Amino acid sequence: MAAMEYPHLQNEDTDLYDLIEGEEKRQREGLELIPSENYVSVAVREAMASALTNKYSEGYPGKRYYGGQEFTDQIELFAIERAKKIFGADHANVQPLGGASANIAAYFAWLEPGDTILGMDLAHGGHLTHGSPVTYMAKLFKFVRYGMKDPDTGEIDYDEMREIALKERPKIILGGFSGYSRSIDWAKISAIAQEVGAVAMADVAHIAGLIAGGAAENPFDHGFQIMTTTTHKTLRGPRGAMILSKGTVSTPLRAPEKTIDNLPTLIDRSVFPGFQGGPHMHQIAAKAVAFKEALDPSFKTYAHQVVANAKVMAEVFQEGGVRLIGGGTDNHLILADVFGSLGISGGEAETLLDTAGMTLNKNSIANDTRKPFDPSGIRFGTPAMTTRGFKEAEAKEVATIMLDVLKNRDEANALKAKGKIKELAEAHPVPESFI
């Protein structure tokens, strides 16, 4: 990672300066294996640190509540048009501050409190915002859930999904995940949504970059109307999110006061003033920079390499006797049952690998008998290491080191592995520019 200098921060707040420098060093010398993390270019970091952080821009381009929007309007329009081009969308709202915010705003754009959403079970790979009982959205909407037919293959039970949809008549059927390693059949979900008059919504936060790079299918190509995504993770932009929409449906939707033709307006009103105040213009500028990077031909190479690296790491773990939920991976992430396979809990594995310079996260698995704070699984992936230039050979080496640390779990061995990881990391610094 290219080091950035902070001379003013160093003078004004040495405590914070030291901590930020420590984090930069940690990122340079270790490997980020959390599937939702990545590195941004120096250009994206410069946009985030720009004078745009000083500016309030409530509203939308051409329709602001404050003056002085000559440049902010143009910046947001750049972000909007680039996002639409990447994903083939008819409309893009680039103001959501995070993935949860985007999902919530999308729900309120189409639903009324008490309406039903059919989404993926958290225990089978779904996200908290897809209906977890611990969220406020679960108190406002009725969530019903589908899951995998068999955790060892990862196949989603689409017959069960259809049966639930016919019984519950959801107004949104939600495809997407945070801990699922296989491809989703977007066409089947879209067909079920059409059959019951529901909006087909995809949360592609984890695979947006793979879609942008042609390494994963685009839900819009299969009749989906709404797509939400974060702008970091595989898309390799700043932390933030957006909501995209496209097209019409062939069957009438229940809710005549809300039509697909109105969807862009409904989404915009839901984001502002419905759910958020002034957008963070420095963040939107950084999104625009990242979207330009994603439109460069080199991004396709990157996206396919992310998947290739993940497949290699999955093979190493399987050959090492570790059960993988889903039986492998089609995308950027791997979910491993380390407790069932190696007798080490997810929490212990996370701590041990952190000592060895590899950052990942403990994660529950389907039908997990352990508690969420120390579950049976670990989740790891390849977006960040691929940004550093890692290819299959290096991915295989990292996976082999991980397995050795997990099987021979003492601190001395972990520290020895940390030296190897540091060598690999320093041999593959994060490039300053991706174009």
- Which CATH architecture describes the domain 51-295? 3-Layer(aba) Sandwich (3.40)
| Per-state percent for the chain, helix, strand, coil, to nearest 5 | 50, 15, 35
The answer on pLDDT for 248 being more than 90 is: no
Catalytically annotated residues? 56, 58, 203, 230, 233, 239
* Distance separating alpha carbons of residues 102 and 356, to the nearest angstrom: 35
pLDDT of residue 251: 41
Work out the number of other CB atoms within 10 angstroms of the CB of residue 167.
10
Domain 298-427's class?
alpha beta
pLDDT of residue 256: 46
- Going by pLDDT thresholds of 50, 70 and 90, the confidence category of residue 404 is very high
- Going by pLDDT thresholds of 50, 70 and 90, the confidence category of residue 257 is low
**Helix or strand run (H / E) with residue 149:** strand 148-150
Residue ranges, comma separated, of all CATH 3.90.1150.10 domains in the chain are 298-427
* Distance separating alpha carbons of residues 311 and 305, to the nearest angstrom: 10
Here the tokens at position 235 are 């898309």
**Residue with more model confidence, 260 or 291:** 291
Angle between helices 346-355 and 411-427 (to 10 degrees): 60
pLDDT of residue 382: 98
pLDDT tens across 272-327, in order? Answer: 999 999 999 999 999 999 999 999 999 999 999 999 999 999 999 999 999 999 99
For residue 233, give the nearest of 214, 210, 217 by alpha carbon: 210
The structure's pTM equals 0.95
pLDDT of residue 128: 79
Residue ranges, comma separated, of all CATH 3.40.640.10 domains in the chain are 51-295
Q: How many angstroms from the chain centroid is the CA of residue 226?
A: 16
